[in-house]
Amino acid sequence: MPTSDIKKGPLYVDSTNNRVGVGTTSPSAKLHLGGTAPLDSIIRQDSTVSGTNWEIGERAAGKWQIFEDDNDTVVATFQSSGNVGIGTSSPSSFYSGANNFVVGSGSGANGMSIFSGTTDAGRLYFADGTSGAARYAGYVEYGHSDNKMLFGTNGLTQAVIDSSGRVGIGTTSPTGNANGSALVLEVHSSGANPPEILAGGQNAEISIAGGSAASYLWSTGAYPLIMATNATERMRIDSSGNLLLGTTSAISSGLYSSSFYGATQNGIVLKTTLSSNGTDFIRFINSSGSVIGEIEQNSASTVAYLTSSDYRLKTAVNYDWDATTRLKQLRPARFEWIADGDDAVPVDGFLAHEVQSVVPEAISGTHNEVDDDGNPVYQGIDQSKLTPLLTKALIEAVEKIEQLETRLAALEAN
């Protein structure tokens, strides 16, 4: 030891290199604390102003800590592995892929604040390089000038939450839609593929997508697509593609089924905005694409129920046939409907199977038919199909009356 050096107890002053060692006679820095155990190199500050006493140094093996002694609290920990903990003494105890910097004590509320200027932004960047976009391959950024949160991937902003709470994906400026209402979520795509919103579960998923050629509401599972208002189901498309309104199952094998309360609702209402005649409210088309019937407006106050009758659709036309004999086989009856119960009143009509042998085209179904479960499959009648027979029989009767009138006039003349 040079004669100018000073050693007194654990204190050593290296006058040659202007260094001070505590617990070491070979200081390598201006102040060098040495020791054989972690607590040997602690620096302590006792404050007479705030009353808080601080210790700084290696308080445990491989852990350099800032310690608040009065409350026995670890404020910060720097480990030899390079991990840093704020409020925790063991940042390495956390997931190895995300324990370089750990904030929180595990008790009460904890957090981290980024304090920026009112016209600037706070940023959290995820980098995989030190140049270009690699410095901010992923990021979260909050702009205080417009109060907008940006989310970036691949070096580009992919999503945004604006100051009104609107979410934009593929756009940084989500706005109100065409009718002026505010949007909560707006999705854009600059590529050829349409943007898509996908929600999935264990058994099914549904996606909403829109492009330049089409828009989709798409379900992949064998489950219904249900729409509701006021927390009540209003409409569904079942897994077979049936459209159901006011009912949860198809009615009478209908592709379109609607159940409604007849006291206050109408089943189907069709309104035309065309003031002139000729509007088809309903048009019926066969599998070949030909129109075979319409319900058409034919005046401002009436509609016409039309079925195909053009001569170009017919062959083997015959005007010479006996209608009277067949007409006399019909048995018009008066009856009451069973379903009307005590409210039933007598009505005029026919029994379908009795008409079937006379005018078969007027009747649908088979006499006494039942389904596989033994339930009746009822016959129906289109009474308009009786009109040609009635007309022809009336013509025959008029011809006979005219013949009788001629004969009577001749007899009276003699």
Q: What is the pLDDT of residues 72-101, one digit of tens each?
A: 788 899 998 999 999 998 999 999 999 999
Q: Which residue has the tokens 């005007």?
A: 319
Instruction: Assess whether 340 and 402 both reside in one domain.
Output: yes
Q: What was the pLDDT predicted at 202?
A: 62
Please state which of the ranges 4-8, 35-39, 97-101, 328-332 shows the lowest mean pLDDT. 4-8
Instruction: Assess whether 309 and 329 both reside in one domain.
Output: no
Q: Which residue has the tokens 């409409």?
A: 235
Instruction: Assess whether 300 and 251 both reside in one domain.
Output: no
Instruction: Assess whether 355 and 392 both reside in one domain.
Output: yes
Q: What was the pLDDT predicted at 251?
A: 93
Confidence of residue 408 (pLDDT cuts 50, 70, 90): very high
Is residue 181 domain-resident?
no
Instruction: Assess whether 230 and 250 both reside in one domain.
Output: yes
Is residue 179 domain-resident?
no
Which residue has better confidence, 166 or 356?
A: 356
Confidence of residue 71 (pLDDT cuts 50, 70, 90): confident
Instruction: Assess whether 253 and 292 both reside in one domain.
Output: no
Is residue 345 domain-resident?
yes
Structurally, the chain folds into a number of domains equal to: 3
Instruction: Assess whether 331 and 311 both reside in one domain.
Output: no
What integer best gives the mean pLDDT of the chain? Answer: 89
Is residue 336 domain-resident?
yes
Global pTM reads 0.60
Instruction: Assess whether 280 and 261 both reside in one domain.
Output: no
Q: What was the pLDDT predicted at 182?
A: 60
Q: What was the pLDDT predicted at 258?
A: 94
Which residues form the domain of 401? 324-413
Last residue of a domain, one of 268, 303, 332: 268
- Residue 194 in this model has a pLDDT that exceeds 80: no
Instruction: Assess whether 391 and 408 both reside in one domain.
Output: yes
Is residue 27 domain-resident?
no
Is residue 43 domain-resident?
no
Instruction: Assess whether 408 and 367 both reside in one domain.
Output: yes
Is residue 286 domain-resident?
yes
Instruction: Assess whether 264 and 274 both reside in one domain.
Output: no
Q: What was the pLDDT predicted at 190?
A: 66
What are residue 92's phi and psi, to 5 degrees?
-70, -10
Is residue 29 domain-resident?
no
Which residue has better confidence, 225 or 3?
A: 225
Confidence of residue 178 (pLDDT cuts 50, 70, 90): low
Last residue of a domain, one of 292, 315, 338: 315
